[in-house]
Amino acid sequence: MKAVLNVVALTALLFPQVASAQSGEKAGETEAVYRTLLALIDEMVGNGLLSRTRADALIARAQRGEAVQVAERSQPRPAAPSPAGDAPSGTPRPAVATAARAVEAEPPRAGTEVAARQPDVPADLKVDWSRGAPVFTSRDGAFSFKPRGRILADVQTTHGSDADSRNITTSTLRQFRFGAQGTVGSHLFYQFEADFRRNQTEVVNTFVGYRRRFGDIEADVRAGSLLTDRGIDVATAAQSNPFITLNVNSLAVAPNGGIFLMGLAGRASGPNWHASIAVHGDRVDADTGNSDNRILLTRAHWNPIVWRNGAVHLGGWLYDEAMPGRNATVAVNTLIAGAINSNVRVDTATLTRVDGSRAFGAELGLFRGPLYAYGEYGQRRLARGPGATFDEATYKALSISGGWWITGETVPYQTRSGTMIAPRVMKPMMGSGGNWGALELVGRYEHVDFSDVPSGGTGTTWTLGLNWHLTNYFRLMADVSHWRTDNIIGVAPGRDTGDTLSARAEVSF
């Protein structure tokens, strides 16, 4: 490879020599050599050994008669002593000697692919910056590595409540997440992420997996700390969700462990469907002296109609949860107006001696062009254990969401997973082009009903929001919510109403 790069360097350095040789050689021969050298440079660019920008810069400098350096290495090598008689003192050295030193001397430049120019960098390395962070990939696609990161900075203010403790303004880093993902060979993959929020650290999506493809069907198995596949909103990453907070279904009917749980999951998907099945335990914690809860969870979706720019969505999920402890407890207090102000919530009594629970959910959605609407309903019923003091406990949640991409982007819905994904902003705010990104108008209705739970309340929220996507991975968000709660216990017993304004600055890669 070094010999090839030496040829490239020699080629570039010959340009001035060719230009000056016009007076002493036949013009036709000189022109032929010049064209051949240009073709050689183009070949190197096509093979990924030299970036187009770098090649053009080299050609321009060579045509001006300036010294040219083509390839790089972090430390220059000392020049080998010239054999006697190679060149008299004061005579310019031949281009070959100069080119050899050029290959060794210049350090890598930012923003270009480094491919075989350094002995410690694989010859087939590619670097792609289009996703907000560098993706390092071997040219045969067998290996890849991508850093992952997310910052969600939120502020929220509430007013209009009869309870002064609810009329507050507060802010937090909703998420500060960092990790990486990668592939090893054709089938193995991995991901790890840690979330630093509210001065606490939590291990979230961290797993290893194996995948295969069977025609149009993609299948994988993964083990570790997994995002539970339980509805459109839960299975959609936070940076792809149209709202600042997930819908009430996400936690109101969640198993005891929450959203990220240790487990083993298998998944298969086709062009317009997917199905998953998983067995989960508890979240990552330090409690290794007691048995985990056991959760069997499955979800599937199908798109009976698929257009070029959208689809109809039908889906559902269910789980069975066993709690082996003799004194298992369940406490469901659902935030109803964003995820920061913990005083605006629907409360229930804490139930003890619970043996387990069963839950199900249904999904219906329409996504087409810049418009979308989808609804989710979920219900969870607890099972009484020996000595339980409650007869029945059923938690219910409903949400209906919709949106319109004002600037004409297509709704980022993925038919293989039945979830929303990162958008493709048509005019991102990058460079000096003067583009201003994309605008998305969203609205949502939510209702939780815990009236079948001892001391359980109810709550309803209407939300209107506007999202400004500066790029595919940077956005500003604002949501205005009008809510009503009717609690029996908690911070604000009785009927109460109020308004909450939430805002977020977000970057995710």
Least confident of 161-165, 238-242, 415-419: 238-242
Task: Kindly list the domain boundaries of the chain, sorted by start residue.
Answer: 2-80+92-105, 130-508
- Maximum mean pLDDT: which of 12-26, 315-329, 334-348, 424-438: 334-348
385 pLDDT above the threshold of 80: yes
What is the DSSP track for 150-219? EEEEEEEEEE--SSGGGS-EEEEEEEEEEEEEEEETTTEEEEEEEEEETTEEEE-SEEEEEEEEETTEEE
154 pLDDT above the threshold of 70: yes
Q: In what helix (H) or strand (E) does residue 102 lie, and over which residues does it extend?
A: helix 95-105
Q: For residue 164, is it left (φ>0), alpha (ψ between -120 and 50) or beta?
A: alpha
pLDDT at 1 (0 to 100): 44
Report the distance separating Cα 508 and Cα 474, nearest Å. 7
pLDDT digits (tens, 9 = 90+) for 158-203: 999 999 999 999 999 999 999 999 999 999 999 999 999 878 899 9
Average pLDDT of the residues in 85-108: 36
pLDDT at 215 (0 to 100): 96
Average pLDDT of the residues in 294-316: 98
58 falls in which pLDDT band (50, 70, 90)? confident
Backbone angles phi, psi at 169, to 5 degrees: -120, 130
23 pLDDT above the threshold of 80: no
pLDDT at 33 (0 to 100): 56
What mean pLDDT is reported for the chain?
83
pLDDT at 127 (0 to 100): 87
89 pLDDT above the threshold of 70: no
105 pLDDT above the threshold of 70: no
Express as a percent the part of the chain with pLDDT over 90: 64
74 pLDDT above the threshold of 70: no
CATH assignment, 130-508: 2.40.160.10
Supply the DSSP symbol for 443.
Answer: E
pTM over 0.85: no
Backbone angles phi, psi at 289, to 5 degrees: -100, 0
pLDDT at 104 (0 to 100): 33
CB 340 within 8 A of CB 172: yes
- Reference 159, options 504, 496, 457, 490; nearest CA is 496
Average pLDDT of the residues in 359-367: 99
pLDDT at 122 (0 to 100): 57
CB 508 within 8 A of CB 146: no
Report the distance separating Cα 253 and Cα 238, nearest Å. 19
Q: Which one has a higher pLDDT value, 56 or 304?
A: 304
Query: For 495-507, b where at least 16 C-beta lie within 10 A, e where not — what string?
Result: ebebebbbbbebb
Report the distance separating Cα 194 and Cα 175, nearest Å. 10
Report the distance separating Cα 341 and Cα 326, nearest Å. 33
63 falls in which pLDDT band (50, 70, 90)? low
pLDDT digits (tens, 9 = 90+) for 330-345: 999 999 998 899 999 9
Express as a percent the part of the chain with pLDDT over 70: 77
Report the distance separating Cα 444 and Cα 463, nearest Å. 5
